[in-house]
Structure 1
Amino acid sequence: MNTKNHPDSATLVLREIRPSDRTQWESLYRQYADFYQSPMNEEILQRTWSWLMSPQHPQEAMVAVSATGELLGLAHYRGFPEPLLGQEVGFLDDLFVLPGHRGGGVGRSLITAVGSIAERRGWPLLRWITAQDNAAARQLYDRLAQPTAWVTYELTPARPGLASP
């Protein structure tokens, strides 16, 4: 990896997303969707952006910014109720770092920043998922957190006009 693309930790700024970040955020989020081979369109981008910009919506975002103002990575997170704990906990929905800046501490810094938010808010844990074959990210995650024994399932609710299995 080209170390000149890795920001010096002293020059990396972690902050909440701002309205002026829209264009760079959109580029990052499109790349994130491409990585996971997830469909992306203007409607999804607009809806997600509106969530991030609304103080009433639980979805929030942290960005990693270089000394030159380039967004190098993003983290989308939110609180959610955990009935077995009787408390709200944190969930890291999306984490993405530009490919040329991976391995330089940007992802770790974003997770640590969201972890600090979790601590300030009294969330007893921060949870996230990743693809089983996302080996590079899992190396980082295994250093920062404990993997769980839980298996994730998804159910697509029946839609009108579609036959049930």
Structure 2
Amino acid sequence: MGVQVRRVLATDEAAWSRLYEGYRAFYALDDDARAVRTTWEWVSTAQHGLVGLVASVDDELVGLAHLRRFARPSSATMGLYLDDLFTAPEARGSGVATALLEEAAALAAAEGASVVRWITASDNAAARRVYDRVAAATPWVTYDMKPAAR
């Protein structure tokens, strides 16, 4: 059986949590059960416009993706932003990430979105090989600014 992709279900919480904890560890984020619980609540109930996708092989969840809608004033269109994409280590190289990205593209088409956009670390070579097959890298540089002190 191949990779199956679908929207996240309430019954996915435990398996999704394991995957999301793996995602956080991959990016060297602190263990934070509160962040995992909050993100699950957002994804599972579509808060903040989030769409949660999961990928399974033989009925076992092996990947996740989180997308959200954003306005594109320069083109007067809507886009989908891919916040998180993760494949369990044992399933890497089996087409999970590609299947999740294809579903993101299908969702964008169904919603009339003009783009699916995401960022990744410049040294994430394995992921970038997948991304380079399905999307075009842009010349844009990302910045993060802290909120002003109150």
Tell me the TM-score normalized by structure 2. Answer: 0.95
Q: What SS is found at the alignment partner of 2:114?
A: coil
Residue 81 of structure 2 is matched in structure 1 by: 91
Query: Shift of the alpha carbon at 1:18?
Result: 0.5
Q: Is the 8 A contact 2:48 2:68 kept in 1?
A: no
Give the number of equivalent residue pairs.
150
Query: Shift of the alpha carbon at 1:100?
Result: 1.1
Q: What is the RMSD computed on CA atoms of the aligned residues?
A: 1.3
Decide which structure has the larger Cα Rg and report it.
1
Instruction: Name the CA distance, whole Å, in 2 between partners of 1:61 and 1:80.
Output: 15
Q: Which runs of 5+ in 2 are unaligned?
A: none
Q: Is the 8 A contact 2:44 2:52 kept in 1?
A: no
The letter of the residue matching 1:140 is: V
Residue 126 of structure 2 is matched in structure 1 by: 136
Describe the shift of the 1:55–1:152 C-alpha distance in structure 2 as closer, same or farther (beyond 3 A). Answer: closer
Query: Shift of the alpha carbon at 1:49?
Result: 1.1
Query: Shift of the alpha carbon at 1:56?
Result: 4.8
Does 2:65 align with 1:75?
Answer: yes
Residue 5 of structure 1 is matched in structure 2 by: none
Does 2:16 align with 1:25?
Answer: yes
Does 2:139 align with 1:149?
Answer: yes
Identity fraction in percent: 39
Query: Shift of the alpha carbon at 1:158?
Result: 3.7
Q: What SS is found at the alignment partner of 1:57?
A: helix
Instruction: Name the CA distance, whole Å, in 2 between partners of 1:82 and 1:135.
Output: 29
Deviations 1:116-159 (A, max 9, x none): 00000000110010000000000110111000000000112244
Q: Which runs of 5+ in 1 are unaligned?
A: 1-7, 161-165
Q: What SS is found at the alignment partner of 2:49?
A: coil
Instruction: Name the CA distance, whole Å, in 2 between partners of 1:40 and 1:84.
Output: 38
The letter of the residue matching 1:130 is: T
Tell me the TM-score normalized by structure 1. Answer: 0.86
Does 2:102 align with 1:112?
Answer: yes
Q: What SS is found at the alignment partner of 1:15?
A: strand
Q: 2:90 aligns with which of 100, 115, 118?
A: 100
Instruction: Name the CA distance, whole Å, in 2 between partners of 1:98 and 1:66.
Output: 11
Instruction: Name the CA distance, whole Å, in 1 between partners of 2:121 and 2:111.
Output: 28
